[in-house]
């Protein structure tokens, strides 16, 4: 049986270690709150809920990633190490989570009002989602080169980045666009509420109850 990787052991030493806390997290949190407050002030609930859907989608991925580590007993699909104010899950720092909380709002705000309009010959939602996903994976490739963001498996690694594009990012953007395009806030709240319940239930079940993540 293959042994647990060195970078996994390093991340596990950092995992939920409150002594790593740094004050800049407070500033980042206020920045996120400001971004959402601006949209609430404008009563752009479509943007707010699309942003939350995007953020929750990342949480779902991060929980699955942590479960990969548990069941493989070797490595997650992606692992983060290095200096962080708080490592929430094996591949999720507090800085990354706050970044994703804003990213969905950014994406929603650039969506054309006409969802049926074509962009580069494709539905504009799909074109933009693909473009953002490719850029995000490009950033991950650069981060992987720093030695602080790790891939272990050949099928989730450079140059085999298609699974990362599709399952690592594309569906985040598509669910954000879907929520944004729903005809009323009640339906948006149902989707976001279901995602929030799934995330909360999974964190509770796989965290304190089972101790898997």
DSSP tally for the chain: helices H, then strands E = 8, 6
Say what the pLDDT of residue 1 is. 60
Confidence grade of residue 2 (pLDDT, cut at 50, 70, 90) = confident
Average pLDDT over residues 15-22: 95
Say what the pLDDT of residue 200 is. 98
The CB density around residue 204, as the number of other CB atoms within 10 Å, is 11
Q: Chain-wide mean pLDDT for the chain? A: 96
Sheet strands (E) in 84-202 = 87-89, 92-93, 118-119, 122-123, 149-151
Top-confidence residue, 135 or 1: 135
φ/ψ of 198, rounded to 5, equals: -60, -45
Say what the pLDDT of residue 103 is. 97
Q: Is the pLDDT of residue 88 over 80?
A: yes
Torsion sign across C-alpha atoms 137, 139, 140, 144: positive
Model pTM score = 0.94
Q: Express each pLDDT in 20-65 by its tens digit.
A: 999 999 999 999 999 999 999 999 999 999 999 999 999 999 999 9
Rounded to whole angstroms, how far apart are CA atoms 128 and 165?
13
């Amino acid at each position: 049986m293959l042994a647990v990787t060195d970078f996994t052991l390093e991340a596990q030493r950092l995992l939920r270690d409150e002594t790593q806390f740094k004050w800049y997290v407070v500033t980042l949190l206020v920045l996120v709150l400001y971004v959402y407050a601006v949209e609430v002030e404008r009563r752009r609930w479509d943007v707010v809920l699309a942003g939350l859907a995007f953020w929750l989608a990342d949480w779902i991925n991060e929980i699955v990633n942590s479960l990969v580590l548990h069941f493989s007993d070797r490595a997650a699909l992606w692992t983060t190490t290095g200096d962080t104010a708080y490592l929430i899950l094996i591949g999720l720092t507090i800085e990354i989570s706050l970044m994703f909380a804003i990213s969905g709002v950014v994406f929603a705000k650039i969506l054309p009002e006409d969802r049926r309009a074509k962009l580069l010959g494709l539905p504009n939602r799909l074109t933009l989602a693909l473009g953002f996903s490719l850029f995000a994976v490009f950033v991950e490739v650069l981060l992987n080169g720093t030695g602080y963001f790790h891939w272990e498996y050949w099928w989730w690694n450079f140059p085999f980045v298609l699974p990362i594009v599709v399952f690592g990012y594309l569906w985040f953007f598509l669910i954000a666009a879907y929520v944004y395009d729903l005809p009323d806030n009640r339906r948006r709240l149902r989707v976001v509420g279901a995602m929030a319940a799934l995330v909360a239930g999974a964190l509770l079940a796989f965290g304190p109850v089972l101790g898997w993540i």
